[in-house]
Structure 1
């Protein structure tokens, strides 16, 4: 615990030095190196919704992925809306942050009772991850699954806002997959702290039982409230652009994409185009952005990213990447993705 605390003190100290250097007109050396070395950053991929997935012939595995910061409130109706009524997917992955003390799994199981059952769960107080598979499938007896969690400190209040990540590693239908849901530090100024948390989580998860001879995951998926913000623009100009459906112009101000482009985080990951409006912060019970005295700049805090270990062996098609604007009980809108995977015939098990 002392080592982890020292690590994040280092992160905070480094962030202060970086801001001071920026104010004096100096560029961070790591930033220069990352740009000159040609880092991949996050690859933005389009959504292929013209050729609708028929759930059988086009793909070997279909995954529905949902992330939602619940803000400590829930209803069965919201969760039923979250998982949807059309279940054209093999696996359903649900990552939740700021989960209330209610039995969320019981509510999810009730909503999915006719089609899917829980394969695995990873829980760290208000941070929770669930993977569901098809009911009555012969494949379920062959599922290999491990879970892990990693705290980065920082929680409080009645809803226990735990920060960190929980993860599930699963082998299903010949695909080795890792799903990670996280809740990182808040506030626009904490960019360097979030970067440090991402790196530390990546290095720490499943490290206790690390096998140097184990094959790497075919695909890794990060989902959650990453808390990266929009910067370099004030709230009212940003809201005017969103109101005019010009929010796509704000992606150049998105901290997550900026930091990835600089080579600091998520190198080689993919994300769908941000065609939906920023998912935070809304007035609870409405689709109006924050009208409190803080009048926060809207931001895409809630994201789903994925990385294919070898694109020559696995073809990944993103069929859907959207926010769920009809859910009003939180100050965040959920985000949902539909990802289809197809194995190359030359890929060995």
Structure 2
């Protein structure tokens, strides 16, 4: 009887959220099944290229909550190194030399090519051994948001790395936006300011743009108990329709023309540190997908892109956020 009651309760929740999802599969095509602002891309498991991709990139974002351990960073980097470039964006990074830990974790296969820092907002770019000769251009930029330029308390803002790697021009932006569910408009404004500051107006200067970070968008108009009940029953996909980031994109406010993998993993915030249990403190935060990776191919006629994974790294316990990773491969179509 109790089981039937739970099933009926879950069905009622699903009807309430009016959930609908029609992801595109694999590459960035001209499908009409997408949000007005963000195309939802379902990661593929096998290679769709007839030849080896020209460039494979692993992208990782993690809010570290001011703490660090080599074991956590080694888990974040991973042992499987099928990628060419490794991009690691960190928020609330501690003052410890994180770069040294990351370099140790990524060796001997990869070396540090570039960094960008704005206090606790950091971005690291690694490439294969002896890949420096493939770097034609590299520069780092940063932009603060908030009062006093973010000098008081934990800084909000973004850092960026612009790189021409083997003829592919890319921009990676790691950002940390304002917190709390009510501050949607503020986050939208911050994104616009960051884009105006860190992205060149001439779109021909980049082939790929990637945003990663703690964007801090929350679940809209859903209280803690129903949200956690859905997640507990592996129905977190029902919450996607209430995700503020996707809602704002549908309104055309942010990330027009960008793509993101399907949110098939559990919300990455907020956890009890040291566990995979959601927040049990007095704050009792509603779980949310605060940590995201979005990307845009500027020249879709000449560059084909395939997303091979988009997932959280649940085996990391040192923060109240779980890291998120994406594997993206690019190929010149006309080569």
Does TM, normalized by the shorter one, top 0.5?
yes
TM superposition shift of 1:344? 1.4
Partner of 1:184: 177
Distance 1:130 1:59 in 2: 23
TM superposition shift of 1:205? 1.2
Aligned-partner SS, 1:291: coil
Distance 1:180 1:319 in 2: 21
Partner of 1:143: 136
CA spacing shift, 1:324–1:39, aligned 2, 3 Å: closer
**Contact 1:117–1:134 under 8 Å retained in 2:** yes
CA spacing shift, 1:330–1:39, aligned 2, 3 Å: closer
**Contact 1:46–1:272 under 8 Å retained in 2:** yes
Unpaired runs of 5+ in structure 2? 1-33
How many residue pairs get matched?
Answer: 300
- The question of 1:130 aligning with 2:119 is answered no
Partner of 2:303: 314
Which of 183, 190, 193 is the matching residue for 1:200? 193
TM superposition shift of 1:244? 0.7
Q: Deviations over 1:298-337 (max 9, x none)?
A: 0000000001112221111000100000100000000000
CA spacing shift, 1:275–1:223, aligned 2, 3 Å: same
Partner of 1:15: none
Q: Runs of 4+ in structure 1 displaced over 6 angstroms?
A: none
TM superposition shift of 1:206? 5.3
- The question of 1:78 aligning with 2:75 is answered no
**Contact 2:44–2:309 under 8 Å retained in 1:** yes
Q: Deviations over 1:68-114 (max 9, x none)?
A: 00000010111111100111111000000000010000111111120
- The question of 1:105 aligning with 2:99 is answered yes
Which of 287, 291, 303 is the matching residue for 2:292? 303
Is the deviation greater in 220-229 or in 80-89? 80-89
Distance 1:51 1:285 in 2: 36
- The question of 1:332 aligning with 2:325 is answered no
Partner of 2:8: none
Which of 107, 116, 137 is the matching residue for 2:110? 116
TM superposition shift of 1:255? 0.1
Which of 62, 81, 86 is the matching residue for 1:87? 81
Distance 1:75 1:238 in 2: 31
Which of 57, 62, 71 is the matching residue for 1:63? 57
Distance 1:236 1:156 in 2: 37
Partner of 1:281: 270
**Contact 2:138–2:163 under 8 Å retained in 1:** yes
Partner of 1:343: 332
Distance 2:285 2:35 in 1: 31
Distance 2:52 2:229 in 1: 41
Unpaired runs of 5+ in structure 1? 1-37
TM superposition shift of 1:156? 7.6
Distance 2:170 2:258 in 1: 14
Partner of 2:13: none
Partner of 1:41: 37
Q: TM-score, normalised by structure 2?
A: 0.86
**Contact 1:259–1:265 under 8 Å retained in 2:** yes
TM superposition shift of 1:147? 1.0
Which of 219, 223, 226 is the matching residue for 1:234? 223
Aligned-partner SS, 1:282: coil
Distance 1:79 1:57 in 2: 33
Q: TM-score, normalised by structure 1?
A: 0.82
Distance 2:168 2:141 in 1: 19
Distance 2:175 2:278 in 1: 23
Aligned-partner SS, 1:215: helix
- The question of 1:269 aligning with 2:269 is answered no
TM superposition shift of 1:178? 0.3
TM superposition shift of 1:153? 2.5
CA RMSD, aligned part only?
2.0
